[in-house]
A and B are shown apart, each in its own frame.
With several copies, the nearest count.
Chain A
């Protein structure tokens, strides 16, 4: 195998390869670190952190659906302080980039997390304005262009690290939202977060999730994710991190052809703990097979 160039650059941060973990599916890397060599990942995107600990939603929080799953974790997290203290030193042992996904219920919340991260040794911030599980705010931010612009602007102002804004797919016009984030100063965009869904246990006659609804992820949503990445890549100039159902190298290549600079692997980890590494290897195999020396040669290059 030749050694194709798969480095990517997201807002001046160079990743050794385009494969990262999708926030919330990989903890802070500790658990999957027993299964994959974290040094091999382009970046680890950690579970969303808020300014203080969140309990999340009641259980059951997980439901399986055809080709996917629903989660209503509700952004349970130990808060940014504990995260900074415990997880950053752990992750910094590895030669990979650290992307911190931040959650909040108000603009002030988000800003406070970003401020606390100013001194933290991390590479990028991913602003999650799209989690459907937080009733208090998240969902509104992500679905209204004006709000998206406002929150992005506010966080951008206080954040030291470059800012990725993660978009929700539960909108009529993803391009309008993406443009708003870019206007607000987003250095990059992540898409997509989960689709809002539901599942019912017909024997108990109850929703499976204690929270009634939850976020749909996995291969089932890939066509929607790919379409949105394609639309947004053709409308904005910032790099895009594509995700939604990516389980192998072929999936990743689809996103790159659609215009993604990098990709994230989420739900696939649950089916295959080494999914991230497999994706990296298979992207290289694809490049090899078609003599693609540089990822840039195919990024967004649909024929």
Chain B
């Protein structure tokens, strides 16, 4: 039987204003976890009962460490940020389907927006071939060094122009004439929608990691649906169970 685990926090640092990286000693899942999957974090902060879905950012099988990177946006993530090294936190996972890495793909384009960047680190680590990473942030970029370390060419855009190009990922998309076998992306919905359009227009396959408010995280409550289509048939898929990664052409974007 699968189960939740109480895992030990071995690191919890603010890597950028309001953005934390947490390392969890989580040997039960490092073998099976895949890039693009997520975990449910149960913080049980005051009055809070639902788990927080957070993507896996890195997996270290040698050290049995799972790394997640999260933005403090509300009470759950605030509670997480206040936890100390040595504290234990309840976690369930890995959940969902990760990115699909086709064996034959050689040229990879990886696009992340803001807090969508973290899950792409493990992905890049596993990709083989040419990897171009495009990252957009409001201001302070994160994880640039990690992406470089794993052999990717990294392009950065910031909305305030403080680092890299001034603008967002869509601006880079417009300018560059990207060619690749596969696009992998995670970030705000408008960005993903633009990527989907770009991918279709340029005949490139794209995978998008979707976000939705969740309750169970395992496919039982039908809370986290994403409208998808198969040929002409429209169908509600579950972001937690059937996703969070979908092929962009599957997703019905009009909303």
Contacts and interface: CB of A to CB of B under 8 A. Distances in A.
Q: Do chains A and B touch in the complex (CB under 8 A)?
A: yes
Given A37-B1, A62-B213, A67-B49, A273 B222 contact: no
Interface in A256-290: 267, 269-274
Interface in A15-56: 24-27, 30-32, 34-37, 47, 55-56
B21 interface: no
A76 interface: yes
B1 A35 contact: yes
Nearest to B50: A64
A98 B2 CA distance: 23
B241 A31 contact: yes
Contact of A273 (B4, B48, B236): B4
A273 B214 contact: no
B214 to A, nearest CB: 6
Interface string B54-72: 0000000000000000000
Nearest to A209: B213
A224 to B, nearest CB: 15
B212 A69 contact: no
A23 to B, nearest CB: 11
B161 interface: no
B167 interface: no
Contact of A62 (B92, B219, B224): B224
B1 A60 contact: no
Q: Is the interface of A mostly helix, strand, loop or mixed?
A: loop
B227 to A, nearest CB: 9
B199 to A, nearest CB: 23
A59 B224 contact: yes
B50 A76 contact: no
B170 to A, nearest CB: 22
B193 to A, nearest CB: 15
Interface size class of A (residues with CB under 8 A): 35 or more
A56 B222 CA distance: 9
Given A270-B51, A271-B50, A73 B236 contact: no
A218 B49 contact: yes
A62 B218 contact: no
Contact of A27 (B46, B219, B236): B219
Contacts of A270: 49-51, 215-217, 221
Contact of B220 (A31, A58, A68, A272): A31
B17 interface: no
Contacts of B102: none
Interface string B203-246: 00000000011111111111111100000000010000100000
Nearest to B76: A64
A71 interface: yes
B134 interface: no
Given A270-B49, A271-B49, A32 B218 contact: yes
19 contacts: A24-B221, A27-B219, A27-B221, A27-B222, A31-B219, A32-B218, A56-B236, A59-B212, A59-B225, A62-B224, A66-B47, A67-B49, A69-B49, A71-B215, A71-B221, A218-B49, A267-B49, A271-B44, A274-B4
6 closest pairs, A vs B, by CB? A66-B47, A27-B220, A31-B220, A62-B223, A62-B213, A60-B213
